[in-house]
Amino acid sequence: MSINTDQETAPIATPRNGSAGNVFRSFGSLFGGANNDNNSVATRSSSGDGYVEFGMQDPERNGRTLGTFAGVFSPVALSMFSALVFIRVGYIVGNAGLYITLLQFIIAYAILIFTVASVCAISTNGAIEGGGVYFMISRTLGLEFGGSIGTLFFFANVVGSAMAISGCTEGIMNDFGPDSSFGVAVLPGGPWWSFLVSSLINTCMLLVCLVGAALFAKTSVIILGTVIICLFATYISFLAKGATNDTIPDASNATGFLNYTGLSAQTLRDNLGSHYGVDYTSNSKPVDFSTTFGVLFSGVTGIMAGANMSGELRSPSKSIPWGTLSAVAFTFVSYIILSFLMSCTTPFATMQKNYLFLMPINLWPPFTAIGILTATFSTGLSNLIGSSRILEALSKDQVFGSLLNFVLSGTWKGNPIAAVVVSWCLVECVLLIGSFNIIAQINSVLFMLSYLATNLACLGIELTGAPNFRPLFKYFTWHTCLVGLLGTLIMMFVINPIYASSCIILCLILVIALHLFSPATQAAQWGSISQALMFHQVRKYLLMLDPRKDHVKFWRPQILLLVSSPRSCCPLVDFVNDMKKSGLYIIGHVKLGDFRAVEDPEENQKWWSFLDHMRVKAFTEVTLSRSIREGVQHLIRLSGIGAMKPNTIILGFYDNEAPKDFFQNGSSPYKTDDFNNGDIQSFPIRRDGEPKHFQVQEYVQILCDTLRMKKNLCLCRNFQRLDKNFISISKHVKFIDVWPINIFNPTSGDPFDMVSLFMMQLAVIMLAKWKHLRVRIFLCEAPEQRTVGTFDTQAPQMEVFSKMKLEQSLKELRINADIIEIQEWSRDTDFSRLARTVKQYTAQADETLLSDDDDEASEDKLNRSLLYMQRANQIIRQRSDQTALSFVYLAAPPKLSVPDFNERSANYVELLTELTAELPPTILVHGVSTVTSTTL
C-alpha cells in the first residue's frame, strides 16, 4: 500500500539568528546589489518626491554621488549626439529632403519616447542597482530572454563603439588626410590607413578604460559642454556666413569643389523633397529611405546611457525618468534646428558629396573638428565601457555557466580587464567593415532589438496584472508599450530585413540555448515574466474549460497516485508518468498529524525536488490528517482545479512485503543521495518487520470511498519488479495482457462491460509507449456456458459467437490486439466447481464480498475460494512468461454497510493477494466511466 503512515510532525518553525537581516539582504541581492553587509538592508525614503527605495546603502557611503544632470542627462545627450550631429545630418537631409528628414526624426523619437516610458516604468518599480538596462531586462523577462537580450545588447554596444570610432576616423582623415580642410596633409589616404587610424583610436580607448574610465565618467559634463558650444557655433555660422564659392571640396571627387549658398529661399525649396543619390563612402551604394533612417536612428540610440549609470546614481528612480526625457527633448530640438538650417543654406548636392561640409562653412573650422572628435570619442568610449560592464554582468550572473569565468578571473581592483580586452577585440573586428553607414545600420537593428525587449518586458508585466508592478512613473500604459514594440519591430525590417531577421533568429537561438543549458537556480532567483504570463493564460483557459462540455472522444486519464514513501515506489511513479497520456498527473501524500503542529516549510520543496529527480511531469499534493482515510478523501475531493480534476485513483497494493529502497539500492536507476541528510532521511520508509500504520479494513474503506466518488480505481502490485530499461531492450518480453473476466463472478454475460473497456483503453495507452509490444486479450469462457447435455452442441456455437463479437468490437474501437481463448474455467471440472463456489461465496448483485446469509459464510467455502484464486493465479502465471504488464479485472469491494465488514474486507484482500501472487507487474482495474468511443 503506497500511502503515507508517518505520524511525526515538524516542530514549529522559529527564526534563526539574524534571519530578518538575511531576508532583507536576500531582497537586496535579488535586485542585483553587490553589497551584503548590514548597512545594505537599510530602508530609505526621500524627502518630498514620494518615492521609496529598498535594499540600498546610504548613497554617500555607497559611492552613489551622481545626480540627474551629470549622471543621466549628460550621458544620454552625448550618446544621442554621437557622430550624427556633425557628420551625418547633412547626409540625411541631402538625400531624403527636409520633409522626409523631419518625418524620420518624428518616427525615431516617437519610438524612443515610448521606449523611454517603458524604461522609466521599470526603473521606478523597485530598487535599481548596477547593471542598467541589462539588469532591468534580465530581472524582468527572466533568465532566457534577459540573458539573450543582454548578449545582443552587449554586441550593440560593441557595434556602437565601432560606429563612433569610424565617425571619429572620418573626421581625422578629413582634417589631416590628403584633402585636409586645414591644408595639413599628414596622413595618407586609403581604406587601410583609415583602419589603422581607427585601430589607434580604439587602442587609446582601451588604455583609458584600463586606467581612467571612472575619471572619464566624471568629466562627461565638461565634454557635453564642449559639444554644445561647437553646435551653437555651427548654428551661428549658418546664420552669419553668406555664400562661398569653390571653398568646399568634393569628397567624392578629389579635384572638384562644391557650392554653399547661405540663407536662401530657393535652396530651401530645392531641399524640401528627396534627392536620393549614392553613398561615396561605401563604393557608391545607392541611398534610399531605409539607409538614411538606419543612419539617423543609429545616432539617437543613446537613451539607455542614463539607465546604465544606475549603480552610480543617488536616486535612480528619480534621475532616470527626468534626465532621460529632458535629454531626449533637448537633442530632438537640436536636430530639428540643425536640419532646418542645413536645408536653408546648403544645396543637396553639397550635402551628398561631402559629409563634413560643416567644417569649411564654420566661422572657425576648429569648432567643428573639436565637436566631431569629442562627440565621437566620448560616445565610442562610453559604449566600450558599457559593453565590458555588460559582459562582466553576464559573467557574474553565470548566464552561460562557466564559459565566461575568465572574465571574473581577469578583474583587477574592480576593473574588468578581461571584459575590456574582449570588447576591444570585437570592436576591431567590426571596424573591418569600414563604412560608417553600414556599421550604423547594424547598430540601429541591434539597439532596436533591445528596445523591443524593453517594451516587451513592460507590456508583459502590465498585461499580467502583477500586484507588485506599481511604478512611480505614471505616464505609460500597455498601449504605449505596444506601440513602442510594434514600432521598433517594423522599423527594424525597414532599415534592413536581413540584419533584422538575423538578429531575431540569433536571439531565439540564444533563448533556446539558455533555456536548455543555463543553471535553473539562477532562473528561480531572478523570477521570470514567463511564469506570470503562463499563470495569466492558464487561469483564463481554466475558466473556459467547462466540465459540462466533456466528451468521451477526448477522454484522457487524469491520475491521482497515492504514495507513502517515494523511496519505495519509484518504478510506479515513473510508470504512471507514461500512462497519463498528456493528462493531469498528481502525486498525493497523506501525512498523519494534528493541524496544531506547523508543517515543515521545506516539505513541499522536497517533493518538487523528488519530481525533478524522477523527471516526471506531475504535481504534488500533501495533506495533513488524523487518519489515512480522511486524508485520502481530502486529496480525492480537492486535488486539481476546475475541470482539471483526477478521474482515476491509483494505489499500491496492501501486502506484507518489505518495501524496497530505490534511493539506496545499488542497481536501481533511481539511486540518489540527494534525499539523505545524515542519519535522517527526508522520506521515511517502513523497514522489514515494522508494523503498518493502518489496518486492512481502512484500506478497503478507501477503495469503497473512491468508487462512491465515481472515480476509476487501480491497484498496482509487483511494480518493484518493473524495469523499463529491460523491457525496452529485451527480446523475450513481448506482451501486455488484459484479462477482462470478473474472476470473482465469472458469468456468461457481456465481457465488454465498462471495466473491461477501461482496461483495454489503458493497455492501448501503454502500447503507445512500448511500441514493440503487442496487446493480448484473454477470452475466458464462464462455467455455465457449458451445461450438461449441451457440451458438444451449443458450446462451440457460443464460443465462436463470443470470439467474433470480441473481434468486431476491437475493430470498431480501432484496437489491434491478439485474442487468446482460455477454456479452463469450463472444461476443468474441479476448477468449474470451485468457480461456482466462489460465485456463491460472493454476492455481486449488491456488490458485497459475502452474501447476507451468514450461515453460508463458512471457513470451508473461504478455503475453496482461496483454492479457486490460486488456480486462477496459476492460469494467469502460465501465460505470463513473456508479459511486461498485466491488467486484471478488479471486483468491487464489499459495501461499507454490510454486516461484518471488517472480516469481509480482510477476506477480500486475501483473495486478491492469492490472485496476484508471483505475477509480473499487475494492475487491478475497476472502471466506473465510459472511456471509449466508436464515433468520429
pLDDT of 705 > 90? The answer is yes
pLDDT tens for 736-765 read 999 988 888 776 555 678 888 899 889 998
664 falls within a domain: no
CB atoms closer than 10 angstroms to residue 474 = 10
For 790-815, the pLDDT digits (tens) are: 333 344 444 455 678 788 888 888 88
Assigned domain for 170 exists = yes
pLDDT band at 426 (very low <50, low <70, confident <90, very high): very high
Mean pLDDT of 93-117: 92
- The domain boundary residue, chosen from 521, 536, 553: 521
pLDDT at 497 over 70: yes
Beta carbons of 220 and 75 less than 8 angstroms apart: yes
**Percent of the chain, pLDDT > 90?**
21
> Is residue 416 very low, low, confident or very high in pLDDT (cuts 50, 70, 90)?
confident
Q: Is 80 exceeded by the pLDDT of residue 284?
A: no
Cell numbers at residue 663, please? 534511493
Domain contains 187: yes
Specify if 730 maps to a domain: yes
What's the total number of domains in the chain?
2
State pTM to two decimals: 0.67
Of the pLDDT bands very low, low, confident and very high (cuts 50, 70, 90), residue 719 is very high
Tell which of 486, 521, 556 closes a domain: 521
Which letter does DSSP use for residue 598 in this model?
Answer: P
Residue 109, all three cell numbers: 523619437
| Least confident span in 296-300, 638-642, 917-921 | 296-300
**Block residue for cell numbers 546611457:** 305
Question: Are residues 908 and 700 in contact, defined by beta-carbon separation less than 8 angstroms?
Answer: yes
Q: What letter would DSSP give residue 303?
A: G
Q: What is the pLDDT of residues 516-559, one digit of tens each?
A: 776 655 555 666 677 777 888 888 888 888 887 877 878 889 99
The domain of 207 spans 82-521
pLDDT of residue 14: 35
User: To which residue does cell 480525492 refer?
Assistant: 636
Residue 97 — left, alpha, or beta (φ > 0 → left; ψ -120 to 50 → alpha)? left
pLDDT tens digits, one per residue of 578-593:
998 888 999 999 988 8
Confidence tier at 914 by pLDDT (50, 70, 90): very high
Residues 329-371 have pLDDT tens digits of 999 999 999 999 999 999 998 888 888 888 888 888 888 888 8
Specify if 476 maps to a domain: yes
Run of H or E including 877: helix 859-878
Confidence at 637, pLDDT banded by 50, 70, 90:
very high
Cell of 276: 536620393
Q: With 60 as the cut, is the pLDDT of residue 446 above it? A: yes
Average pLDDT over every residue of 410-426? 83
C-alpha cell at 610: 523528488
What CATH number did the domain enclosing 235 receive? Answer: 1.20.1740.10
Digit-coded pLDDT (tens) for 552-574: 878 889 999 999 888 889 999 99
More confident call, 930 vs 132: 930
Mean pLDDT of the chain: 78
- Could you give the angle at the alpha carbon of 222 between the alpha carbons of 220 and 224, nearest 5°? 65
The CA distance from 648 to 361, in Å, is 86
In a domain, 529, yes or no: no
Query: Quick one: pLDDT at residue 919?
Result: 94
pLDDT digit string (tens) for 219-249? Answer: 778 888 999 999 999 999 888 877 665 567 7
Please give the Cα distance from 90 to 339 (Å, whole number).
8
Q: Is residue 482 part of a domain?
A: yes
pLDDT digits 0-9 by tens, 120-164: 887 777 655 555 667 777 776 677 777 877 888 888 889 888 888
- Which range scores top for mean pLDDT: 6-20, 299-313, 427-441, 832-846? 427-441
User: Could you tell me if residue 307 is inside a domain?
Assistant: yes
Report the pLDDT value the prediction gives residue 63, as an integer from 0 to 100: 53
Domain boundary among 468, 500, 521: 521
